Amino acid sequence: MTINIGEFLTKRARLSPKQEGLVCNDLRMTFEQMNWRANQLAHAMQRLGVGPGDRVALFALNEPEYYDLLFGLGKIGAILVPVNYRLAAPEIVYILSDCGAKVLVFSKEYLEIVNTFRSQLPSLKLIAIADHTPEWAESYPKLLDQESTKEPAITGGGDDVLSILYTSGTTGRSKGALLTHNNYYCTSVSLHVTLGYTGEIFLIPLPLFHIGALGGVPMFIHLGQKSVLLRSFDPKRMLELIRDEKVTGFGTVPAMLMFLKLVPGFEKYDFSSVKIILVYAAPVPVALIKEYAAAGIEIRQLYGLTECTGPASVIDSQHAISKAGSCGLPIFHSEIKLVDDQGKEVGPEELGEVLLKSENVMKGYWNRPEETRNAIIDGWLCTGDLAKKDRDGFLYILDRKKDMIISGGENIYPAEIEDLLLHNPKVADAAVIGYPDPKWGEAVKAIVVLKKAEQLTEQELIAWCQDKIGKYKIPKKVLFADSIPRTATGKILKRELRAQYNK
């Protein structure tokens, strides 16, 4: 049998038609209603000329339309391309051009930014999720209202691509990870059999353009769990939703957990329904794990990547405190090994690169055959992450992929920012590192060498970066130096920079 993720919603609607499946602000829908909307979306896209393999981009907050598009496009064999709403216009244009999107669906918050770049993509069909639609776009609600709720003919599935998620590039440009129907199916099954029962109501506070949120959506439909969407992160609103909707679980990043604790009257909010919190992106402080454990809530640290459709390993509740800092053991249908520079597997407590084998590993990178060959060797995904295993096999990530910075759960690659800084006419050389930040975990710091006789202040350079890259990537600090330490082959010595500038 060929697995088609779009059919997950068809079957769930058949089995649980009147059960509530999605909540977002004042909108509440049953699985049957969700399926009707996905079918209408599928028919609307076909009427616009979207067929198997065509790309449809979504530039929005956490909206119900994510469910329409993921399952509706899945049914007709088309591909969803979620766009990070924190990116700047040039970065968005690059993604839309690179993937060759036929259609861009966007929410009302982004009317202005889409208007600034639409002339650069004249063939792109624009559809607005808005009450008042500009003359240059179609109305999403009207588009769906014209269509039938009947099931479209199911097309594709299995090893066909369901979504393209763009990851920050280690060499500057981001690249699109091709995630298939089978990839999402494997993640759904593996998460379920690894985690066990996670309750009936799952809150989604992380942005759905991230695999940390989107990767779990098919599982929620697969298991008949209700999804509660937080359109954008608001810690007070999140606590209210946990209390009012009786949320049983959610995924998050450590910074979000810290922000929740800072809400005035935090201790008065009812957390009694919450059974599990899945945490991504960075290690959770032991004190925080203990605080939540005292309230009867499991914090389960995960390790994963976009390239493996989300999770690769997770720690069990029994070891969450005794092995704090570990991201546990491989999820059920997954293998992890650590290898040295010669590809030989290392022993316990020895440093090695994380290699991953699983049916949820991506098909490859969009139009990047060489990078795909370098990333997937003999069926193993080469993550570039350095780690060790203890004698019980528990995984500890020790160094990040090619000096990656994680700020508030966002992956930031220094090379992309360095490339931008070198485009400033006054800059001769630049290096970017992360530094500890109590609010975001890490923030971006730039060390800059100016050209002879040039003058530039920290604030001037930061201001120059505005609108060229996503705000979360813009350096929070700029330091000026006479030179950047490099190897004989020209590689920046990041460890030296961190030792010198992060004292």
127-186 pLDDT, tens digit per residue, is 999 989 999 999 999 999 999 999 999 999 999 999 999 986 555 578 999 999 999 999
Asked: is 1-157 a CATH 3.40.50.12780 domain? The reply is: yes
What confidence score (pLDDT) does residue 439 get? 83
Contact 195, 251 (CB under 8 A): no
Least confident of 25-29, 60-64, 451-455, 493-497: 493-497
Which residues lie across from 382 on neighbouring strands? 355
What distances in angstroms separate CA 379 from CA 107, 225, 354, 402, one per listed residue? 39, 33, 13, 22
Mention every residue, 6+ apart, whose C-beta is less than 8 A from residue 3.
Answer: 157, 158, 181, 182, 185
- Give me the pLDDT at residue 96, please: 98
CATH of 404-501, one of 3.40.50.300, 3.40.50.620, 3.30.300.30, 1.10.357.10: 3.30.300.30
pLDDT of residue 261: 83
Q: Could you tell me which residue, 298 or 172, shows the higher pLDDT? A: 298
Q: pLDDT-based confidence at 306, cuts 50/70/90?
A: very high
Helix, strand, coil shares of the chain, percent, nearest 5, are 35, 30, 40
Q: Are 434 and 447 in contact (CB under 8 A)?
A: no
* Tens-place pLDDT, residues 461-487: 999 999 899 999 999 999 999 998 876
**pLDDT of the residue at 113:** 97
* Whether residue 372 has pLDDT greater than 70: yes
pLDDT attached to residue 489: 47
Percent of the chain with pLDDT over 90: 73
| pLDDT of 423 strictly over 80 | yes
- Better-scored residue on pLDDT, 474 or 414: 474
The confidence score (pLDDT) of residue 401 equals 62
Among the listed ranges 79-93, 254-268, 424-438, which one has the minimum average pLDDT value?
254-268
| 59 within 8 A of 37, measured Cβ to Cβ | no
Q: How confident is the model at residue 411 (pLDDT cuts 50, 70, 90)?
A: confident
Q: What is the pLDDT of residue 461?
A: 96
Q: What is the pTM of this model?
A: 0.85
Q: Work out the average pLDDT over 303-313.
A: 94
Instruction: Tell me the average pLDDT of the chain.
Output: 92
Supply angle C-alpha 363, 207, 272, rounded to 5.
Answer: 115
Separation CA 66–CA 33 (nearest Å)? 14
What pLDDT does residue 368 have?
95
* pLDDT over 90 at 397, yes or no: no
Dump pLDDT digits (tens) for 189-233: 999 999 988 899 999 999 999 999 999 999 999 999 999 999 999
CATH number of 178-399: 3.40.50.12780
Q: Is the pLDDT of residue 396 over 80?
A: yes
Which of helix, strand or coil describes residue 48?
A: coil
Same CATH fold assignment for domains 1-157 and 178-399: yes
| CA-based torsion, 221, 223, 228, 234: positive or negative | negative
Which range, of 71-85, 287-301, 372-386, 440-454, averages the lowest pLDDT? Answer: 287-301
E strands along 231-351, which residues? 249-252, 276-279, 298-305, 310-314, 329-330, 334-339
**Per-residue pLDDT at 328:** 95
CA 114 to CA 377: how far, in whole Å? 39
Beta bridge partners of 397: 387
Condensed to tens digits (0 to 9), the pLDDT of residues 81-99 reads 999 998 999 999 999 999 9
**Would you list the domain boundaries of the chain?**
1-157, 178-399, 404-501
Q: What percent of the chain has pLDDT over 70?
A: 97
Instruction: Give the pair of three-digit tokens for residue 390.
Output: 């203890």
